[in-house]
Amino acid sequence: MSLHKLVLLLLLLEVMLAAIASRSATAQTKPGCPERCGNLSIPYPFGTREGCYLNDNFLITCSNVSNKPFLRRGNLPVLKISLDGELVVSNWVGYACYNESGGLVNKSDPWIRSSNRFRISYTRNKFTVVGCDTYGLITGSAGYAASCTALCDTRDDLVNGSCSGIGCCQTPIPKSVTDYNLSMISFSNHTRVWNFNPCDLAFVVEEKSYNFSSVDLLGLTTNAKFPLVFDWAIGNEKCGNVSNSVCGEHSTCYNSNNDLGYLCNCSAGYQGNPYLGCQDINECLNATLNQCSNICHNTDGNYTCSCPNGYHGDGRKDEQGCTLALWIKVSAGTGIAILVIGCSLLYWRIKRRKLSKRKKKFYKQNGGEKLEIELSRQNGSIEAVKIYTIKELKKATNDFDASMILGRGGFGTVYKGVLPQNKLVAIKKSIAVDQSKIDQFVNEVITLSQINHRNVVRLLGCCLQTEVPLLVYEFISNGTLFHHLHEVDHESSIPWKIRLRIAKETAGALSYLHSSASTTIIHRDVKSTNILLDDNFTAKVSDFGASRMDPLDKTQLTTIIQGTLGYLDPEYYHTSQLSKKSDVYSFGVLLAELLTAREALYLDRPEEERCLAAYFISSMKENKLFEILDPQIVNEGNHEQLRKVANLVQSCLRLKGEERPTMREVAIELEGQVQVEKHHSVGLEVSSDETEHHLSESMDLGSTSTTAVYDSLKNQDIIPLGDGR
């Protein structure tokens, strides 16, 4: 054989080996298995037929008719599969459309049921509601429920790209959700906005894939679909507990971050499908992948560098490189060392300066200078609010570690903190702040810090060195009233005399906020999760995230809509304002909770029992009071007292605000009932004349009726954890 033919043969063999190596390096499926279905690439552990996928959870059904991929044997079209643990599907839009007279034309409440190997991604998706007369509700696994309200009066109110409640609203998805149901409610069946918005729309969508536009109110068709991202993982065990991992050669195991099992990733220096085995990367073929200055030698999973003959050094660009002589090597090494040290010092100095500037910027932006001025004017007349540094609060919360979280809600997250001398505090970290209302925020901090009432959670101070101000409250150790009334391990365990005292203390605190300070404070979100209890079951009114101050010499003007589903004053729908009497209404619902041990809103009950306020009033009208009261307090006796408290609830829940009592009148009546209970418990006879109080003289406590549309006008209403703040 001639030398020429031998060279050609060797070249051909090299090309064939390179092709085989290339196929091996890029293979994403098992040998002999289809790599695609339509336009979708299908990497293992997914597959379209037996032997091509890990197990039934990873089956992709490829339609013989349309050549479209579907997840498992369902009807969810698959758009993309990522080995990083994400799978994107096409998801239907829920809708409810009305005619001009308000009649329902057509409706679809979509739902998703997935395998427990898949979770709806909490980092990539948002529950989205589009409409101008629309309340959307999403419920799902693990008791998950959230709501979102989108309102507007005219097309001119809409802002493209904004999903903050005007025409469009969004709320996040929590961890561990595998399935969900969507439902929509229209307050007036779109009769007010029908000419430009005849339909309610609700859907779960990959956040980056949807950008609100005003044309969506008419142009978004009822058969529209949007991408939805699932998280997936192998099994349900974490890496440390897996006895037989499916990770292939040259790959590592890492845990899923959405309460699933584990995933695999190619080790450093390798590439490919980690579930089939990863192949070595030849870093020497790509100058951006190696640090060699002269000669590169590929090794399994790595590479080495060397210098040509006559040179000294390690041959690396980032270290010694190659030098001709020892003095050059020494000089180069010294220079590099000086440069690295100098750069490091410069870097840390610049970083510290930037951090200091950032803190100062936020401090000024959050009204720190104004707060200092206002505090200096107090001249020691009150115990001044303390301004904490972010360093102090990071230390107190172990750098805001998840284990220190007490609860989460629509306004942010509350952490438990331990200050010096083991002083326990609750630190509220809000989600966002309106920069146009910083002056109002500063005034509220000063005013709230002056509140010194034994039944109000005290504001101790704040931190203004972060993008969003942090508020520091006293720590209340025994959880929420909701926790003790409704959760399984405490259900209905509080005796009547303690419930009555909790009601009296709460009413007294609200009365104090309404009338005993230079600035009237309307709480605006009175509910059982905002009533904290200490170890002696003393009530503490908390969470002023929804509160607004009303100076006594000014007319109230409220523009921010807040409240909680089941507690919101029905008069708001006529006045667009929340007042002191709105707190009275919410307290009435709270008092009904104490009497019945029922939640203010419970969707799993029959329709007529879902809203506690309406059900309580109807039961009073039908003379069925003792049928809905908590059997525990009925058995404790004193039925006449229970009737009086029930009549008080009825008065607080009147439709018209002017017909409701004031919080002061409510507090006086409850104080009287507490005294009756004390006398009753020691065997004293108390005449009816001694138990008549100011409230019975100033108003009629007879039966009344109320019907209203109950709605949470917060963009999200997620039940917080049951620990105290």
Catalytic residues: 525
Q: Which residues are within 8 A (CB) of 522 and not within 5 positions of it... i.e. 6 or more apart?
A: 513, 514, 547, 548, 549, 550, 556, 578, 579, 580, 582, 583
Rg of the chain taking only CA atoms, in angstroms: 33
CB contact at 8 A, 255 and 25: no
CB contact at 8 A, 166 and 158: yes
665, HSE (Cβ side, Cα atoms, 13 Å): 20
d(Cα 169, Cα 130) in Å, to the nearest integer?
A: 7
CB contact at 8 A, 230 and 120: yes
Could you tell me where the beta strands, DSSP code E, fall in 301-388? 302-306, 386-387
The conformation of residue 328, written as its DSSP 8-state character, comes to H
d(Cα 473, Cα 498) in Å, to the nearest integer?
A: 25
Name the strand (E) or helix (H) holding 660: none
Structure tokens at 59: 């089956």
Residue 557 main-chain phi, psi, to 5 deg: -130, 110
Strands 133-140 and 111-113: unpaired
Could you tell me where the beta strands, DSSP code E, fall in 365-486? 386-387, 405-409, 412-419, 423-430, 459-463, 470-474
How many CB atoms are located within 10 Å of the residue 334 CB? Answer: 10
Q: Which residues are within 8 A (CB) of 430 and not within 5 positions of it... i.e. 6 or more apart?
A: 411, 412, 468, 469, 470, 471, 545
Strands 405-409 and 412-419: antiparallel
CB contact at 8 A, 86 and 230: yes
Query: Do the annotations mark residue 429 as ligand-binding?
Result: yes
Coil, helix or strand at residue 395: helix
Numbered residues of the known binding site:
429
Numbered residues of the known binding site for ATP:
429
